[in-house]
């Protein structure tokens, strides 16, 4: 069954907008786990506009489910990951000035760099996942870098879902089949929500994990965090 990893970045964004420690992101991580999250995801950026680097060890100390740290593997990020040793590190090619993740890795052009990073992560017992667009060539390239999983960047699927979901999902099915042939585990994330999640998992039922943050926090404004997490778990369990 596909696991739900809750990205708590937006909770940190709310905290940082006012200063102080309200809401408390460490407590939020613990509560998400209590409410049914099967993993916690954070994405510390160099400008620390949401999750701060200092938040990460504190979160790791209070959760028992899988911890996933995602980000661009610059030296500061790698130092943090190797110190905290999460279950998984997801490598995302974010430029410093982007608002949110907006592309996967070119795993062919960056093969040498990604191979080195994946090797270092795995030598420390950390699962290495590479964020990729739904392009078979990029999935194959990721496999050649020695990662354990790829995370499919699902923005294009989410954008196209309401118009023609069959067309929107087609590239993802192809990329997912390539990942399986390469022996890679499979994650997915970005703009998945209560409307499009179940169909995505129905068509690709061997997804190991989805990472969802923005939509969960938006829904929680109306439903409450506990009911929202349970609703997302329900979508994953429909199959």
Q: Annotated binding site for 3-amino-2-oxopropyl phosphate, which residues?
A: 7, 18, 191, 213-214
The C-alpha atoms of residue 138 and residue 199 are separated, in whole angstroms, by 24
* 3-class state of residue 166 by DSSP: helix
Q: How many CB atoms lie within 10 A of CB 51?
A: 26
Beta bridge pairs of residue 39: 5, 66
Annotated binding site: 7, 18, 45, 50, 100, 191, 213-214
* 3-class state of residue 128 by DSSP: strand
Tokens of 90: 């997801």
Q: Which of 66, 190, 209, 235 is catalytic?
A: 190
Q: How many CB atoms lie within 10 A of CB 95?
A: 8
Q: How far is CA 105 from CA 71, 91, 151, 176, in A?
A: 12, 8, 10, 16
Active site residue 96: no
The sign of the dihedral angle between the CA atoms of 14, 68, 105, 111 is positive
The sign of the dihedral angle between the CA atoms of 197, 200, 201, 206 is negative
Annotated binding site for 1-deoxy-D-xylulose 5-phosphate: 45, 50, 100
Do 191 and 210 contact (CB within 8 A), yes or no? no
Do 13 and 45 contact (CB within 8 A), yes or no? no
Q: Which of 33, 66, 70, 151 is catalytic?
A: 70
Active site residue 124: no
Helical (H) or strand (E) element with 7: strand 3-7
Q: Which residues are catalytic?
A: 43, 70, 190
């Amino acid at each position: 069954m596909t696991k739900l990893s809750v990205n708590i970045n937006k909770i940190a964004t709310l905290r940082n907008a006012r200063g102080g420690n309200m809401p408390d992101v460490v407590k939020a991580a613990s509560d998400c786990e209590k409410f049914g999250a099967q993993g916690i995801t954070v994405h510390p950026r160099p400008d620390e506009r949401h999750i701060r680097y200092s938040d990460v060890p504190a979160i790791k100390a209070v959760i028992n489910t899988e911890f996933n740290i995602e980000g661009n593997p610059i030296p500061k990020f790698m130092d943090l990951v190797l110190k905290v040793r999460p279950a998984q590190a997801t490598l995302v090619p974010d430029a410093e000035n982007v608002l949110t993740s907006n592309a996967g890795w070119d795993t062919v052009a960056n093969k040498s760099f990604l191979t080195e990073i994946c090797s270092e992560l795995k030598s420390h017992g950390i699962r290495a996942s590479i964020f990729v667009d739904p392009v078979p060539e990029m999935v194959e390239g990721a496999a050649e870098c020695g990662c354990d999983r790829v995370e499919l960047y699902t923005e294009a699927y989410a954008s196209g879902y309401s118009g023609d979901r069959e067309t929107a999902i087609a590239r993802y099915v192809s990329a997912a089949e390539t990942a399986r042939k390469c022996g890679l585990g499979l994650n997915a994330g970005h703009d998945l929500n209560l409307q499009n999640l179940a169909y995505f998992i129905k068509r690709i039922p061997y997804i190991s994990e989805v990472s969802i943050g923005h939509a969960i926090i938006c829904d929680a404004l109306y439903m409450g965090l506990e009911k929202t997490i349970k609703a997302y778990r329900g979508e994953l369990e429909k199959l």
